[in-house]
Amino acid sequence: MPTVHLPRRPFLPDHREEGEGRIRLLLGALLTGSFALRLVGIDHGLPQVYNPDEELHFVPQAAAAADGDLNPGYFQNPSALTYLLAIVLRVVYIGHDVTERLAADPGEIFLVSRVVVAALATVLVYLVYRLGRRLYGAAAGLIAGALLGFAFLPVFYSHQALNDIVTLIPVTLAVWASLRAYEDGRLADFTLAGAMVGLAAGTKYSAGPIALVVGLAGLLRLLERKDQLRPTLIALVCSGVFCFAAFVLVNPFLVIDFDYAIRQYSGQSAQLPAGKIGQSGAAWSYYPYSLIWGLGAVPVAMALLGAISGLRSDRSRTLLLVLFPVVLYLYASTQGRFFARWMLPTYPILAVLAGLGAVVLATWVARRLAARGRTRVAGLALPTVALLVLAQPLADSVRSSVILTRTDTRTLALDHIREHLPPGARIVVEPAFPAAYLDFADVVPRPVERPFQEYESRLRPELVDTYREEGYCWVLVTSHQRDRGLAAGLSDAAAYYDRLRREADQIVTMSPYRDGASAPKFSFDFSYDWYPLAFERPGPEIEIVSLSDCTG
C-alpha cells in the first residue's frame, strides 16, 4: 500500500531500525498517556451514577448476567458490552454475588466497569494507529492514534460504562478487514469483516451500516480487479453469515425472545424522528458543528484534506474509508433528535484521514522549505503540524478530565439536603437524578408522573399551591430540566419557575460555573459533558427552593 514520507530526513522513518525504535517509544508514550488520561476523574460522581444511560443500560444487566441470569430483558441497546462486563465482574468478584455487591456498593461495581471501558479505549487507540500506519505510514498512524487518544469526545465517553467507545473497536477492525478483502480478495478477510460488522452492530445498533464497506470492497473487486462474480458473491454471502452469527453470539436473547425484543426496539426507534423538548436546530448542521469540539477544528480540516488527497491518489481505498461516515451522517441527519456521540462510530476513520492530511500538509511545507535551502527547518514541519493538530484535543480533554475530579453539584445538593432539611421533610425533585439519589437522605420525595420526557410540558404555576397543600415545602430545581422548558418556549413552565422564585423563603444554589462566568446556552450535549469553558465542576446548576408560607 502507498506510504507517504517526508523528503530528506523524515521525522518518523518507517524503514530504519533507529526509526522503529523511536516509533515504539512514541507509541508507548501515546498508549500510556491515553490510558492515564482516562483514569483521571474516572470515579466521578460515585457512588451515585448521574448519567441515566450509564445508570440503567449495561452495568445492572451485567451484574445479573455475572450471577447466571443471561437474559438482559432489555433490548433498546444490544448486549455485547453487557456480557463483556459480566465476564470481568465474574472474575473480579469470584465467589461473590455481584448483584448483591451492586446493591450494597454500586460505586465499586461501576468503577470496575468504567476501568474496563477505559482499557478498551486504549486498545482502540492502538488499532487506529495500526490502521493509519498500514495505509499511510507511521507518522500518519501515530497522529491518528493520538487523535483517538486525546480528542475530547472519545476521552469523555471513555469515562463512562457505556457502549459508545467499545463499539469503535469492531468498527475499526471491520474497516481494516474490508481493506484487506479489497486488496487480496481472500475469503478469510471477507468473513472476518462480516464478523466484525456483527460485533459492531451487536455492541451498538447504529454501527450496522459499516456493512456497506464490506459490500463496497466486493463491488470494487468486481469492477477494478475483474474478479469473477460467483466467488465474490460467495465471499459476500459468507461475510453475511458470519455477521449474523457474531451478532447472535453476543445477543442470543434477541433471537430467543424475539417478539419482546422487537417491541422494545421499535418503541425506542419510534422516538427518533421526534425532537426532544428544548432541542433546537437541525441534525444536518449540528453534526458537523459537533466535530469541531468533539474531535477538534484542526483535525476536522486535516480529515477533509486527507479525504481530498486520498480521493486524488488512491480513490478506491479512500472510498472504503469515507463511505461509512457519509452514510451514518446522512441517516442521522434525518432524525428529529441528535447528539454528538451518535457520530462517534465515524471517529476512527476521521482520525485516520486526519493523520493522512497532517502528513500531506507537513510534506508540502517541508518541500517548500527545503527548496529554499532551509533543510533543518523543513525537518520540523511534521512535528509542528502534529502539535497543531493535537493542541485543541489535548487541552480540551485535560480540562474536561480535571473537571471530573471535582465534586458534582448534585452531590453538593445531596449533602445540603442531609445536613439542613429536617427529618421527614417533603421535597419535590425533578426527574434529573438517579433512582437511588435520596435513598440515604431522611426526606420524602414527591412522586413524578411518567413519562419523564413530558415533565416540563406538564408544569403549571398552580402546582406551587398543590405543593403547599400536600406539605411539600422544598423544591429541587435543575438547569437540566428548567432550561429545557425555557428553551422550548413553554410559557406555563416559565411561569412555574418564576413563581417558585417569587414565593421562596430561601434559594440555595449549587453552581457548576466559574466565578463570573455566564451559563452557556442550553444544549443536551453540554448538559452532560460540560465542555464549555464556563464549567469548573460537573453537574447542572441546582436550586434548592424553600417555599414561604408552607408547613410540611
Pick the range with the lowest mean pLDDT from 150-154, 162-166, 168-172, 521-525. Answer: 521-525
Q: What is the mean pLDDT of the chain?
A: 93
Residue type, 314: D
For residues 118 and 28, what is the distance between their CA atoms, to the nearest angstrom?
16
Residue 454: per-residue pLDDT: 87
Residue showing cell 482520525 = 351
Give the 3-state secondary structure of residue 523.
coil
Tell me: pLDDT of 453 over 90: no
Distance of CA 487 to the CA centre of its chain: 25
Rg of the chain over all Cα atoms, to the nearest angstrom? 26
pTM over cut 0.85: yes
Tell me: pLDDT of 64 over 60: yes
Tell me: pLDDT of 480 over 70: yes
Strand ordering across the sheet containing 425-429: 443-445, 425-429, 474-478, 542-547, 504-510
Structural contact between residues 181 and 217, judged by C-beta atoms closer than 8 angstroms: yes
Residue 18: per-residue pLDDT: 57
For residues 106 and 399, what is the distance between their CA atoms, to the nearest angstrom?
27
Give percent of the chain above pLDDT 70: 95
Residue 534: per-residue pLDDT: 96
- Mean pLDDT (whole number) for 279-296: 94
- Mean pLDDT (whole number) for 90-103: 95
Other Cβ atoms less than 10 A from the Cβ of 220: the count is 20
Residue 275: per-residue pLDDT: 66
Helix (H) or strand (E) holding 544: strand 542-547
Tell me: pLDDT of 5 over 90: no
- Mean pLDDT (whole number) for 294-317: 97
pLDDT tens-place string over residues 223-241? 988 888 999 999 999 999 9
For residues 207 and 367, what is the distance between their CA atoms, to the nearest angstrom?
40
Residue 17: per-residue pLDDT: 55
Residue 228: per-residue pLDDT: 87
Tell me: pLDDT of 2 over 90: no
Residue 16: per-residue pLDDT: 52
Pick the range with the lowest mean pLDDT from 277-286, 287-296, 502-511. Answer: 277-286
Give percent of the chain above pLDDT 90: 85
For residues 24 and 39, what is the distance between their CA atoms, to the nearest angstrom?
23
Distance of CA 473 to the CA centre of its chain: 39
Angle at 483 between CA 482 and CA 488, to 5 degrees: 105
For residues 61 and 85, what is the distance between their CA atoms, to the nearest angstrom?
9
Domain boundaries, the chain: 170-267, 409-547
φ/ψ of 151, rounded to 5, equals -65, 145
Q: Is 132 left (phi over 0), alpha (psi -120 to 50) or beta?
A: alpha
pLDDT tens-place string over residues 398-438? 999 999 999 999 999 999 999 999 999 999 999 999 988 99
pLDDT tens-place string over residues 198-216? 999 999 999 999 999 999 9
Q: Return the bridge partners of 493, or none.
A: none
Distance of CA 482 to the CA centre of its chain: 25
Tell me the torsion sign for CA atoms 302, 303, 308, 313: positive
Helices 297-313, 381-404: inter-axial angle, 10-degree rounding: 140
| DSSP code of residue 335 | S
For residues 288 and 329, what is the distance between their CA atoms, to the nearest angstrom?
9
Other Cβ atoms less than 10 A from the Cβ of 360: the count is 21
Residue showing cell 457548576 = 512
CB-count burial class (<10 Å; 0-12, 13-18, 19+) for 285: exposed
For residues 171 and 280, what is the distance between their CA atoms, to the nearest angstrom?
30
Which pairing describes strands 443-445 and 425-429: parallel, antiparallel, or unpaired? parallel
For residues 543 and 547, what is the distance between their CA atoms, to the nearest angstrom?
12
